[in-house]
Structure 1
Amino acid sequence: MSNTRGETIKNILRVTSGNFLEMFDFFLFGIYATHIAHTFFPNENEFVSLMATFLSFAAGFVMRPIGALVLGPYIDRMGRRQGLLLTLSIMASGTVLIAFVPGYASIGLLAPLLVLAGRLLQGFSAGVELGGVSVYLSEMATPGNKGFYVSWQSGSQQVAVIVAALLGFAINKLLSPADVAGWGWRIPFFIGCLIVPFIFVIRRSLPETKAFAARTHRPTTAEIFRTLAAAWPVVLGGVGMVVMTTVSFYLITVYTPSFGKTVLKLSETDALLVTIAVGASNFIWLPVFGALSDRIGRKPILVGFTVLAVLTAYPALAWLVSGITFERMLGVELWLSFIYAGYNGAMVVALTEVVPSSVRTSGFSLAYSLATTLGGSSLAISTWLIEVTQDKAAPGYWMAFAGLVGLVSTLALYRRGRTALAQPA
């Protein structure tokens, strides 16, 4: 693999392109949750309709551990490049299905069932997509820069958040509310379908990583499962670390448009502007703290930002709902973005380092997908918490809990003497 800067940048773009598509589709689901609810899950009770939509969104995350267990060993055995092409194909199938399914009014119960099938396909693919991309970036990184390289996995997702939110903003400006609700919300999903062939073409040109190509032994699926079983404390600790990332990410990005519109009663345009700002903030802070973790180690960053989440998540949201304005929502979401991006910049690379190299993709993907089952349920959990407590700031309790889980898991892994986490790579 060429070590020139231009070739390195091209490979980063090639490998993260699938991450972009995954988050683009997932985020569109959050932006247009109310329209999807009315189209596929109609109900006179708005809470019931929205919960059905969020549960179908969460169902995709239930498929992630299955995808990790099925596709992870395939990538560890057959190669990073081949596996990333397979995950892209499966993900694209789910995207096309969701984009073109007629509404409940046209085909009845079949409509929500097909949307659910699309989400399950996306979840199955995503179960190993993040792991495959993160491992590829860690294996292509130059010495002492793993944190910086791996941070672009999450960085590509922020670009997707920004693009999706900008499209949503433009559609809301150009179309009437009735047109957006009737058919306009599908336009970004169609655009996602159109970019699939382009991403497939550029991914086909990916070279295999030197680290994988140099292996003399390719483990069988049975060997991979045995290694994973033996490393279960590490995988479990990884799950706890990732919970903090997934909960905070989905709260500040995918949930923000619905939270701003349905809970805070701000305009959809205002909520999308805040989301664009959050995506830009994440994009800046992720590589900054990924690079910083290469210099000072992963542990100080992981501990520091989980403590910030525990101490400030609920008070920040309580301050927001005590006097709801666009400016307050922007300030609070940017603060939560700083916490998420600072933590995640160090966490993702830490997880690639702590998992045994022979099952790196499988172990990473399993830990990440199990945690994302909780994180991806944040939309439904937050909606339920607000309904039960009648406290609009209740999602802050959920993020604080996730921070506590991340803190305990990080400390537990360090006590096991996992020095790779503690030292810059």
Structure 2
Amino acid sequence: MTSTASPNNAQSRPGTVFRVVSGNFMEMFDFFLFGFYATAIASAFFPSGDELASLMMTFMTFGAGFLMRPLGAIFLGAYVDRVGRRKGLIVTLALMAMGTLLIACVPGYATIGYAAPLLVLTGRLLQGFSAGVELGGVSVYLAEMATPGRKGFYVSWQSASQQVAVVAAAALGFGLNKWLTPAQVGEWGWRIPFFVGCMIVPVLFVIRRSLQETEEFMARKHRPEVKEIFRSMLNNWALVVSGMMLVAMTTVSFYLITVYTPTFGKSVLHLTTSAALIVTLCVGVSNFIWLPVMGALSDRVGRRPLLLCFSALAILTAYPALHWLVNSPSFAHMLEVELWLSFLYASYNGAMVVALTEVMPVEVRTVGFSLAYSLATAVFGGFTPAIATGLIEYTGDKSAPGWWMTFAAACGLCATLVLYRRQRLRGAETPAEGMAA
């Protein structure tokens, strides 16, 4: 590990950012595909005389992957904090690839019966286990390689890479809907993007293998044993729970405006599939622009002001925006509402991810971040498509998903107040790290 190859070498930083977030792109690409093609997957693996029941089963399988995230955060996170960031990121990519290949290749229910949904569920569980530490590993790596005073900007590229995945998946889906008939997409066309993902994996392995370990980790003299890491997590359980609440706003809004958007556009607003995918693509572009901008702004004004401001705006506007949309559905109105929600999400998340790396104890930074993030995704975000679908069915209110986002934003607001009060009491607030009041 020579210093010339170090991630802290200014000349190598853009390339290092690209290498570290490349696997993060793959993870999100696969997750989005499952949501984008929920209707086709429901028909292939969860046939039912009730279309709603079939769709709900698909979304529950999608959400089941998130239940594995906390386990991945604990076991893989402890591995990363023990042996290094680089090795951990390679392991997570391998597990993600296995899950994607399984989903792409499994025959449908009509061919192998109940084994089909069980194998798809296994693929989702593998993806969820690896994802449990992927975001944390990438975020911690970027935080540790960042230049002083620019940590928010660098860490924001973790989330920005996800938006590239949204754009790529939506663009691929839009192309398939133009080239194939709806029947062809539903029967076999939906598998094509999954195979594309499988073909990208070898390239990503080559890219990630060239990563160097961060200087901050290499300089650390004490590498905690697994039992020390677990003990620290137990001692800091309140911090992990507060971190989970902080992430709730991010994960709910993210899956609401990306994974659930195509289904919402088609099933609720009765727009065309192409229209819903174009909106999703635009949301991904919007997120990609705002995330680094707000990450950089948080370096100047602090994390806390942005977190408070945009969680409050989400509380005030999420439901009214969706209510206006469902009462006047159109492509233009859906685009306007989704871009507003995108702005709220990206502005909050641009400050949130780096804030979460800063509040975690340094010796268990990866497992602490990953556990808080994974619990939030498992409890709140991962089941957002299923919860949104269920809320609409139960209440009869097509804008009911707005209440779910409002609740998540309230969690984020409360967590921000608790965490920064805790930081102030501990005397850990430093403007250089974005902890300005």
TM-score of the two chains, using structure 2 as the length reference: 0.96
Describe the superposition over 1:19-64 as per-residue Cα deviations: whole angstroms up to 9, x where unpaired. Answer: 1001100101111000000000001111100000000000000000
> 2:273 aligned with 1:265, yes or no?
no
Contact 1:414 1:422 in 2 (8 A): no
5+ residue gaps in structure 2? 1-5
**Alignment correspondent of 1:76:** 81
Structure 1 outlier segments of 4+, above 6 Å = none
Given residue 219 of structure 2, which amino acid in structure 1 is its aligned partner?
A
Distance (Å, rounded) in 2 between the aligned partners of 1:92 and 1:4: 30
Describe the superposition over 1:385-413 as per-residue Cα deviations: whole angstroms up to 9, x where unpaired. Answer: 00001111000000000000000011011
Distance (Å, rounded) in 2 between the aligned partners of 1:192 and 1:104: 23
> 2:333 aligned with 1:328, yes or no?
yes
Describe the superposition over 1:232-282 as per-residue Cα deviations: whole angstroms up to 9, x where unpaired. Answer: 121111000001100000000000001101111100000000000000000
* Residue pairs, 1:30-41, within 5 angstroms: 30-41=35-46
1:417 aligned counterpart, secondary structure: helix
Given residue 162 of structure 2, which amino acid in structure 1 is its aligned partner?
Q
Distance (Å, rounded) in 1 between the aligned partners of 2:11 and 2:74: 35
**Alignment correspondent of 1:106:** 111
**Alignment correspondent of 2:148:** 143
Contact 1:299 1:422 in 2 (8 A): no
Distance (Å, rounded) in 2 between the aligned partners of 1:199 and 1:263: 37
Distance (Å, rounded) in 2 between the aligned partners of 1:88 and 1:276: 25
1:219 aligned counterpart, secondary structure: coil
Equivalent position to 1:95, from 96, 100, 112: 100
Distance (Å, rounded) in 2 between the aligned partners of 1:169 and 1:421: 46
> 2:415 aligned with 1:409, yes or no?
yes
Distance (Å, rounded) in 2 between the aligned partners of 1:198 and 1:424: 37
Contact 2:72 2:130 in 1 (8 A): yes
**Alignment correspondent of 2:314:** 309
Contact 2:7 2:212 in 1 (8 A): no
Equivalent position to 1:282, from 273, 287, 308: 287
Contact 2:8 2:215 in 1 (8 A): no
Given residue 382 of structure 1, which amino acid in structure 2 is its aligned partner?
A
* Residue pairs, 1:2-401, within 5 angstroms: 3=8, 5-373=10-378, 374-401=380-407
Deviation at 1:229, TM superposition (A): 1.2
Given residue 47 of structure 1, which amino acid in structure 2 is its aligned partner?
L
Change (3 A) 1:57 1:422: farther
Given residue 130 of structure 1, which amino acid in structure 2 is its aligned partner?
L
5+ residue gaps in structure 1? none
Distance (Å, rounded) in 1 between the aligned partners of 2:227 and 2:32: 36
Describe the superposition over 1:119-161 as per-residue Cα deviations: whole angstroms up to 9, x where unpaired. Answer: 0000000000000000000000000000000000000000000
Deviation at 1:417, TM superposition (A): 2.7
Deviation at 1:231, TM superposition (A): 1.3
Deviation at 1:423, TM superposition (A): 3.0
1:183 aligned counterpart, secondary structure: helix
Contact 2:8 2:145 in 1 (8 A): no
Q: CA RMSD in A?
A: 1.0
Given residue 169 of structure 2, which amino acid in structure 1 is its aligned partner?
A
1:36 aligned counterpart, secondary structure: helix
1:342 aligned counterpart, secondary structure: helix
Contact 1:289 1:346 in 2 (8 A): yes
Given residue 60 of structure 1, which amino acid in structure 2 is its aligned partner?
G
Distance (Å, rounded) in 1 between the aligned partners of 2:275 and 2:432: 40
Distance (Å, rounded) in 2 between the aligned partners of 1:207 and 1:323: 52
Contact 1:56 1:116 in 2 (8 A): yes
Distance (Å, rounded) in 1 between the aligned partners of 2:261 and 2:429: 32
Change (3 A) 1:41 1:421: farther
Distance (Å, rounded) in 1 between the aligned partners of 2:215 and 2:286: 33
Contact 1:245 1:344 in 2 (8 A): yes
Q: Percent identity?
A: 66
Change (3 A) 1:420 1:277: farther
Deviation at 1:3, TM superposition (A): 4.8
Change (3 A) 1:424 1:395: farther
Deviation at 1:228, TM superposition (A): 1.2
TM-score of the two chains, using structure 1 as the length reference: 0.99
1:144 aligned counterpart, secondary structure: coil
